[in-house]
Amino acid sequence: MSTLSLSNQAAMRKPSRDRASYYTLTWRQKQLLLTLSPTQTTPLLPALESEQLLADCLKRSPIHLVKLTPDIGEAALALWADACAKVNKPAYLSVPSIAALPKKQNRLKWWLKRLVDWSAAALLILVIGPLMLGLSFLIRLQSPGPVFFSQWRVGERGKLFRILKFRTMVTGAELYHHQVMGHQAGLHKCENDPRVTPVGRWMRKYSLDELPQLINVLRGEMSLVGPRPWALYDAVRLSPAVRQRLNALPGITGIWQVTGRSHLRDLDDVNRVDLRYMGSWSLRQDFKILLMTVPKVLSGFGAF
């Protein structure tokens, strides 16, 4: 069933949630490009509707990575990301390139930033280890289920990665995400989200649920300071005009978190703030954002 390795282009159906949509798969230089197709132009590949069968096909294929257009939707992105993770092949969101990347502006200062990231993350994990253990105990005591919450986010150059957080909601809360958020146009944040546990609400107020992201920093998937790491349900709703922002290395804290967290919720506006940050990036600015983060966290600024 090594379908992907036998053909350069094929079409497949979207997962059963939307039978009217089709995809075009194009194989270029050991990269598989997945785009939305308006009509069925070649025979369907029903085997690829299953995550496990898709993973089997990817495993047998010589491709090195998969690129996915945001237009295919959240469900399809998650399906492919999960299948790619099973066979250790990276999945990327296909995003337009951008010149104003901090990494390109000054490589020496950028690597200094990354050295600070890794060193500080390792030190913080050692120092606050007892606190993290205590929070883990509270989560297990309050609600049955895993201590950590993992979710696909968009990282540097569109690479998909699983962000780590302390679980602040009831188990299985993701299944009810769109039911709770409805047709909310801006950021999918709900002040009185019924899925959040009492302990989770307290942790969210002081951003304690984000401490496990220090592990993402050690993995090289995040920085201490950078733009917000978009979830798939937010990334697919970005307008093409600001999708270039998805090239950025995301951060645990950033300019939006310390300035507009409580009132700036329009997706494109948040991205424009991040694009300005990227265009004027400096180590001094990152240090200033870190200093601003401390009082914001202690006061529970815009958190819910």
- 175 belongs to a structural domain: no
CB 241 within 8 A of CB 215: no
Co-location of 253 and 142 in the same domain: yes
Determine the residue type at 94. S
Contacts (Cβ under 8 Å, ≥6 apart) of 54: 47, 48, 79, 80, 83
Co-location of 45 and 112 in the same domain: no
Q: Residue 16 corresponds to which tokens in the numbers above?
A: 């059963």
- 239 belongs to a structural domain: yes
- 160 belongs to a structural domain: no
Cα(236)–Cα(43) distance, rounded to whole angstroms? 27
Co-location of 17 and 127 in the same domain: no
pLDDT in tens, 193-219: 888 999 999 999 899 999 999 999 999
The three-state (H, E, C) secondary structure of the chain, written as one string: CCHHHHCCEEEEECCCCCCCCEEEEEEECCEEEEEEECCCCCCCCHHHHCHHHHHHHHHHCCCCEEEECHHHCHHHHHHHHHHHHHCCCCEEECCCCCCCCHHHHCHHHHHHHHHHHHHHHHHHHHHCHHHHHHHHHHHHHHCCCCCEEEEEEECHHHEEEEEEEECCECCCHHHHHHHHHCCCCCCCCCCCCCCECHHHHHHHHCCHHHCCHHHHHHCCCCEEECCCCCEHHHHCCCCHHHHHHHHCCCEEECHHHHHCCCCCCCHHHHHHHHHHHHHCCCHHHHHHHHHHHHHHHHHCCCCC
Co-location of 33 and 77 in the same domain: yes
Co-location of 241 and 279 in the same domain: yes
- 155 belongs to a structural domain: no
Paired strand residues for 256: none
The total number of structural domains in the chain stands at: 2
Tell me, what's the pLDDT at 16? 40
Cα(226)–Cα(98) distance, rounded to whole angstroms? 16
With CA atoms as reference, report the closest residue to 181 among 199, 169, 167, 166.
169
Count of beta carbons in the 10 Å neighbourhood of residue 116 = 17
Q: Distance from CA of residue 31 to its chain's centroid?
A: 21
Low-confidence ranges of the chain (pLDDT < 50): 1-20
Tell me, what's the pLDDT at 269? 86
Domain boundary among 45, 67, 93: 93
State the pTM of this model.
0.87
Co-location of 211 and 72 in the same domain: no
The domain containing residue 75 runs over which residues? Answer: 3-93
Tell me, what's the pLDDT at 4? 34
- 125 belongs to a structural domain: yes
Cα(64)–Cα(5) distance, rounded to whole angstroms? 11
- 166 belongs to a structural domain: no
Tell me, what's the pLDDT at 302? 58
CB 30 within 8 A of CB 74: no
Cα(246)–Cα(158) distance, rounded to whole angstroms? 6
Q: Residue 303 corresponds to which tokens in the numbers above?
A: 């958190």
Q: Burial of 106 by CB count in 10 Å (0-12 exposed, 13-18 middle, 19+ buried)? A: middle
Tell me, what's the pLDDT at 14? 40
Co-location of 142 and 68 in the same domain: no
